[in-house]
Structure 1
């Protein structure tokens, strides 16, 4: 964590202060991608990781532009926690996650089960489960497996499918939904 010695503020605190100012100053017209209905000019993502104990609640996009420091922090947060490998997460996936979250009208953060996966992690998981794809989009930083305590797998999948922007997998037995920015498709039950 970087701390500015002259102010005693962390980079995250400065980003938060900037974001709060930007929210107040944001215009009312919508400039977001079509599938981010009602997303307006600000995009915010809230997640926590049960694996690492880390939490993230940040604005990552303002008035048509991604915030580089926020994107960097998202990439690190969604890293392969088994290998500590970091990959640039495809921001279309983050946008789909955000849009689905907005459609569900919840305040609860997503629990991130899996973001980026190294080839080694993917191979290990594949050896333990038939449900892991050999060429998983997780290895490209284009997928996330998510859970919400306040919404069912069905409700989460329905919201993600309404975005019509990528793949949506229902894993009811494991209580999570896969969202990716690949070809529009759905599977699972």
Structure 2
């Protein structure tokens, strides 16, 4: 299947520049076919994923179909890394910035809802007090990231159950175990 490169950019993992992101597309049978590539400079293997989305209005131009997709998906973390520099064959720098601003605004609104929902959640309050930068991880208002006390990578938090885990450090548990771990790292 021949895809067209639509977007490329630098990506990073929390604190470290990680490599390159590419988004390819093809429109076929009223469907938007996407291929995402993450080409890492360190540690992680390169990954490629393919996705299919139904096009709501097939009469639109390729550019408008892609713009609609990006407006809808960027803030949801469809892209698993944050893009820090972008180039596109379709969009000018100003258009990409406009798309990003809409995504940031939608993401900020969702994060505010999640913060209100979990303002009394002990593990989130603790991470805030310890300056671990708790933040929404994705679509689910209960899934959060925080800075891991074990290194420069994310700690996953399930706010609804008050549990946390780090795949890198191979540690998991509830708030008392997190408090002990943070104290050990101080």
Q: Which of structures 1 and 2 has the larger relative contact order (alpha carbons within 8 angstroms, sep 6+)?
A: 1
TM-score, L = length of structure 1: 0.27
Comparing both structures, which one devotes a greater share of its residues to strand?
Answer: 2
TM-score, L = length of structure 2: 0.28
